């Protein structure tokens, strides 16, 4: 109950100050969702005691028990992703009504953050980590380290959504994840690499070298 209240309160606070651009504000909320989802998923995984788990494993089998836990965690991630998007959409917190492409991008960003938080929480859930204090401290430390280490999904997703053009988001995210560097340079409204291609660079070098060689001969 407490993680859900914190998640809803955080979303309300983040959307409390207009103008709330659709993509950039949603990127900030997706980063907050990652942290809240870690807490929610850990609570869900540790909601059963050791005795209850043993009874369920003996009754349904270890494979079915593991699949049921994965299904529950996935369902929780999907619900929180939709909830975080639906709350500002229904209450009209965005600066304008987002179109379908923007809604899809925000939903995908929420799902990436929620699934990432769920996967991280699973590493610290019982019976992997039996001590709850150690689990909470370890999970909190790993979640915080994703920021300075620039790890996905939090930082790349928020950085990719920090734009006003929905068509730029896939390219920005690909440049951040695949090339491991932000792609922010623009020319004539199109997203370009941050450095010039090798052929262009060699052409510029040769163009500069020829006049210098002529001047030295002269």
For residue 117, give every residue at least 6 positions away whose Cβ sits within 8 Å of its Cβ, in sequence order, or none.
33, 34, 35, 36, 37, 38, 40, 41, 77, 143
Confidence at residue 212, expressed as pLDDT on a 0 to 100 scale: 47
Give pLDDT, residue 2: 83
What is the domain partition of the chain in residue ranges?
2-217
Task: Give me the pLDDT at residue 22, please.
Answer: 92
Task: Please give the pLDDT value at position 178.
Answer: 65
> Which pLDDT score is estimated for 191?
40
Residue 150 is classified by DSSP as: T
pLDDT in tens, the chain (218 residues): 688 899 999 999 999 988 899 999 999 999 999 999 999 999 998 888 888 888 888 888 888 988 998 999 999 999 999 999 999 999 999 999 999 999 999 999 999 999 999 999 999 998 889 898 999 999 999 999 998 888 888 888 988 898 888 888 888 887 776 665 544 444 334 443 444 444 444 444 444 444 444 444 44
What local confidence, expressed as pLDDT, does residue 202 receive?
A: 45
- Left, alpha or beta for 46 (phi > 0: left; psi -120 to 50: alpha)? alpha
Spacing of C-alpha 170 from chain mean position: 13
Give backbone dihedrals phi and psi of 190, rounded to 5 degrees, phi first.
-110, 150
Residue whose structure tokens are 């043993």: 54
pLDDT of residue 62: 83
What are the angstrom distances between the C-alpha of 200 and each of 79, 197, 206, 207?
A: 49, 5, 10, 11
Q: Give pLDDT, residue 28.
A: 93
């Amino acid at each position: 109950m407490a993680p859900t209240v914190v998640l809803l309160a955080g979303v309300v606070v983040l959307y409390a100050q207009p103008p709330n651009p659709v993509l950039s504000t949603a990127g900030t909320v997706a980063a907050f969702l990652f942290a809240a989802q870690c807490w929610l998923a850990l609570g869900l995984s540790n909601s059963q005691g050791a005795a209850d788990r043993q009874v369920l494993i003996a009754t349904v089998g270890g494979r079915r028990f593991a699949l049921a836990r994965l299904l529950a965690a996935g369902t929780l991630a999907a619900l929180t992703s939709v909830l975080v998007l639906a709350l500002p959409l229904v209450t009209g917190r965005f600066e304008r009504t987002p179109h379908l492409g923007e809604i899809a991008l925000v939903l995908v960003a929420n799902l990436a953050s929620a699934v990432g938080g769920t996967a991280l929480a699973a590493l610290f859930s019982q019976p992997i980590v039996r001590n709850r204090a150690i689990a909470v401290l370890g999970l909190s430390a790993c979640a915080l380290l994703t920021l300075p280490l620039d790890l996905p999904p939090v930082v790349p997703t928020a950085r990719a959504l920090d734009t006003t053009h929905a068509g730029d988001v896939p390219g920005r995210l690909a440049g951040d994840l695949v090339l491991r560097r932000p792609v922010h340079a623009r020319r004539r409204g199109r997203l370009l690499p941050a450095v010039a291609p090798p052929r262009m660079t060699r052409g510029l070098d040769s163009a500069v070298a020829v006049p210098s060689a002529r001047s030295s001969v002269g």
